[in-house]
Amino acid sequence: MERLTLSESMIASLRAIQAKQMAYYDDPVLRDHDAVVATYGLGPAMYLCLDGRVLILDHDEDDPAPVETDDENDLRIISVIMAKRHKMTDLLTTYLFPPKPAGASECRLCSGTRWVQDKISCPLCRALGWIAADNAAS
């Protein structure tokens, strides 16, 4: 499975975030998967593991268990969330965020910010900030 590439400084930052999160609530995913919570609330919870794995936990399941994902949209969303909430902007420089190609337009929903109402990652451009010319009419 595809994982996010994390530098030593990112891992150190994640360890500090993890320590704070573990002090506030007892989440077995944090402990059992060496992870931090990226988002927990609307929709499934997303976790970033310190080895670069991304886990999704759907609490609406009968027997919820974290599932690893390598879907590029999920990897991009967690990268945007961690960059915004925890200042991990290096995550925005990976292959998941190619430069805006010629002919592409700024996303009309998020105005290129990757966020809608400063709360959720943009579902229209999938957190890229732009729409490819062949998808602009959608």
One digit per residue, the tens of pLDDT, for the chain of length 138 reads: 789 999 999 999 999 999 999 999 888 999 999 999 998 877 789 999 999 999 999 877 777 899 999 999 999 999 999 998 899 989 988 889 999 999 999 999 999 999 998 788 899 999 999 999 876 555
- The domain of 77 spans 8-93
Q: What is the pTM of this model?
A: 0.86
**Does 56 fall in a domain?**
yes
Instruction: Please count the structural domains in the chain.
Output: 2
Q: Are residues 17 and 84 in the same domain?
A: yes
**Does 88 fall in a domain?**
yes
Amino acid letter for position 45: A
What is d(CA 63, CA 56) in angstroms, rounded to the nearest whole number? 13
